[in-house]
Chain A
Amino acid sequence: MTDLHPICALGATQPQTRRFGPLTLAENSELALASVALRRDAASPDLPQPVPGEWQAAGDIAAFWTGPDQWMVEGPGLAATDFAAQIAARAPGCSVTEQTDGFVAFEITSTTGPGPIRALLEKLVNVDAHRFTAGHATRTGFHHMSVFVIRRADDRLALIGMRSAAGTIWHALTDAAEQLEVMA
């Protein structure tokens, strides 16, 4: 019989973590994702519905805006559960699609406040780092790919990208963080 071992997006059995000065970069293999789209004339779902460009946590889940009447819902620590079914139960009449295994999430934390996060943002993506404060989320270009960038808090940033490109994203992230550490 085939013996199957679950692995993380970066290929190891455990998620990767690296530290560069005040910044810690970590692969988050526990994050469940489901997309929610409103149908025309559908009832409003029992979910956080942040406005364009924003991210909002509510209880054990969070959501960020991905397009007109569309959101991505996050379930921290719920990757091993049937997350889409849980969300669908709270969003009758909406289109809910499981997204967990299509994406890879990286969490970046700073031990010295917002400064290093802002410096990294400036290196990584074409968004205004000073206006991209806590609670903002957007999809933008990153190394010829598209990623979701979420500012979870002043000292926390998340990057969610295509799972098949996990290694490329991780390389780009660690490269940028390493350069910042060298410059500091």
Chain B
Amino acid sequence: MLIPHPLLGLRDAEEFTYLGDARLLDRPDGMAEGAAAAFYEYVHLRDNPAGVHRELWFHEQGDRSWLVVTRNTVTHEILGAELARNVKGGAA
């Protein structure tokens, strides 16, 4: 399986480690109203789709960047990859 790294091109998936759902980037504000409920959802509740999924991968044996990889969990087709710092930067 090859992951199209936005900076380094196609790299073997073996160089990466997998974290999980890309929604982990959206950490709730711990000081906000209702933080306990928001954190309960953030930590425990995930969608588990059969199909297209956005997930966090770490290029551990490479440039150590975090990527948001869009992958089809049924076919393992990789549909795209972007730097998590850009995704997060855009959301902030």
Contacts and interface: CB of A to CB of B under 8 A. Distances in A.
B33 interface: no
B73 interface: no
Contacts, number: 33
B64 A67 contact: yes
Interface in B15-62: 15, 60-62
A29 interface: no
B7 interface: yes
B15 A126 contact: yes
A56 interface: no
B1 interface: no
Contacts of B9: 53
Interface of A: 52-53, 65-68, 126, 138-141, 146
12 contacts: A52-B8, A65-B63, A67-B63, A68-B7, A68-B63, A68-B65, A68-B85, A126-B12, A126-B14, A139-B61, A146-B60, A146-B61
